[in-house]
Amino acid sequence: MTSTTEPGAVTTRRMWSILGLVLLADAIDVIDGTVTNIAAPTIARELNGGESLIKWVGPAYLLAMGVLLLIGGRLGDKYGQRKLFLIGMAGFTLASAVIGFSPDPALLITARVAQGAFGALLIPQGMAIMTKAFTPDMLAKAFGLFGPVLGISAVGGPVLAGFIINADLFGLSWRPIFLANIILGVIGIIVAIRILPRDGDGDRDTVVDGWGSGLLAVAMLGVLYGLIEGSSNGWSAVPVAALVVGLLFFVLFGYRQRTAANPLIVPSLLKNRGFTSGMVVGLIAFAASTGLFFVLSLFLQEGLDANPRDASLGLVPLTLGLIAASFAAMGGLVTKLGRKLVFIGLGVSLVGCAGVLALVYAYGTDLSIWALVPAFIIVGIGTGLCFTTIPTVALGDAKPEEAGSASGSLTSIQQLSSAIGSAAVTSVFFMAADSGFAEAMKVTLIVVLAATALSLPFVTLMPRKAPAEQPPGE
């Protein structure tokens, strides 16, 4: 089929079809990034993976996604978005199949890394394809649908995972969660081949900083391995060395960004106090929130003996609060309040966490899931205000020519900090679990409260206002 990327050459019907395909890809990404919050304990139990598998199954995906998102878009520019979309979808589907049939923890974690890597190649292409092929009016309609669809995916994914595990379809337990991606992925590939505009061979002059990505990958792997191995098997020389190597490679990555001809992050951004402060706030807030969500799921299942279905339903109020607050923030609050809304979001999160802590102190593991609903809603509202507001406000002082790099950097920071948060906060939980799950939850909440409070001074250094116009897709 011959086509072009000019907006006038793509019919309205075809634009809607492309939008549906892009939303499918993004929804699968969100679902696969969140289902392990519910499924991890069951997966670890059935594969005899123990605490280490619980700690790795989420961060492995987020690690690969976060590292490669920085270059995924540039690879699309270089080799063509259509080609990268198809490669990403095919690789994601194959990796999902390997996860679904994995007989042991090592293969599962390897496949999760591959799944995140191919996802990082897939996701940036959709926005680029729409920006090229859609009319301005259609592009506005498309952006308006992303929030609801991804919000439903964030809620529906873990809930569906809980019901699938409880139903034990065909005696496969958790495996259908990932095997379903085979069907969705094949449909996505067939549709993509038929409807995506051909974009030639891309711009071969586009430069991709592979060295920078490699340094960042080693840095993240060293930090995550050190945290997980040290907290699981003791702080011997190996995990300590891994942490040291990870931190050293972070320094090398920073040096590379200052000296490379075509760095992953525009050098002027690193000199922008407002942007760098936003990155710090985002790193702390995203890590604390993502880690907390994972640990709350563990506490409901391991501490309160909830089955996966009830645990997933118990977390719905938190997710609904997050989605409602996100829509409220992007509906005009962030433009009116700027960084004040970040303060409000962090403050509400602190109140919600303190409420959960008070309930755990009062009732321990005799706590009812439904007694947690009000506190979970408050935590969700605070998190929703932060998740959408921090990246937007951080762009307030960015120049127009820096907006693309800044937006991509903040998205990657969110993924990478989520990986660190999942590993670090889960490690805290399990290290304190020797004294009981109630004690573990108390210690974890105190750590999350302290980390969240630590980010508050940096908010004062962020831009006062959000940018008048947000970059596409933000």
- Examine the domain organization and report whether 197 and 59 are in the same domain: yes
Which of the four pLDDT bands, split at 50, 70 and 90, describes residue 25?
very high
- Examine the domain organization and report whether 250 and 382 are in the same domain: no
- Examine the domain organization and report whether 244 and 151 are in the same domain: no
Read off the CATH number of the domain in which 58 is found.
Answer: 1.20.1250.20
- Examine the domain organization and report whether 345 and 227 are in the same domain: no
Mean pLDDT of 238-261: 88
- Examine the domain organization and report whether 93 and 139 are in the same domain: yes
The pTM score is 0.82
- Examine the domain organization and report whether 338 and 453 are in the same domain: yes
Contacting residues for 144 by C-beta, under 8 A, at least 6 apart: none
Contacting residues for 165 by C-beta, under 8 A, at least 6 apart: 38, 39, 42, 173, 174, 177, 307, 308, 309
- Examine the domain organization and report whether 404 and 336 are in the same domain: yes
- Examine the domain organization and report whether 91 and 184 are in the same domain: yes
Mean pLDDT of 354-367: 95
Domain count, the chain: 3
Residue 461's identity, in one-letter code, is: L
- Examine the domain organization and report whether 351 and 473 are in the same domain: yes
Residue with tokens 């962020």: 462
What whole-number distance in Å separates Cα of residue 322 and Cα of residue 299? 20
What whole-number distance in Å separates Cα of residue 341 and Cα of residue 412? 22
Residue that finishes a domain, picked among 205, 232, 251 = 205
What whole-number distance in Å separates Cα of residue 61 and Cα of residue 159? 20
Whether pLDDT at 271 is above 60: yes
Residue that finishes a domain, picked among 160, 183, 205 = 205
What whole-number distance in Å separates Cα of residue 268 and Cα of residue 469? 20
Whether pLDDT at 204 is above 80: no
Residue 19's identity, in one-letter code, is: L
Mean pLDDT of 325-330: 83
Q: Would you list the DSSP string of 395-431?
A: TTT--GGGHHHHHHHHHHHHHHHHHHHHHHHHHHHHH
- Positive or negative torsion for Cα 246, 252, 255, 259: negative
Whole-angstrom CA distances from 124 to 137, 197, 412 are 21, 16, 11
- Examine the domain organization and report whether 214 and 299 are in the same domain: no
Residue that finishes a domain, picked among 234, 261, 288 = 261
Which of the four pLDDT bands, split at 50, 70 and 90, describes residue 278?
confident
- Tell me the pLDDT tens digit for each residue of 403-413: 666 766 777 77
- Give pLDDT, residue 129: 87
- Examine the domain organization and report whether 349 and 422 are in the same domain: yes
Domain that holds residue 38: 1-205
What whole-number distance in Å separates Cα of residue 215 and Cα of residue 67? 10
- Examine the domain organization and report whether 348 and 412 are in the same domain: yes
User: For the chain, first and last CA: distance in Å?
Assistant: 32
What whole-number distance in Å separates Cα of residue 77 and Cα of residue 260? 19
Mean pLDDT of 243-259: 89
- Give pLDDT, residue 407: 67
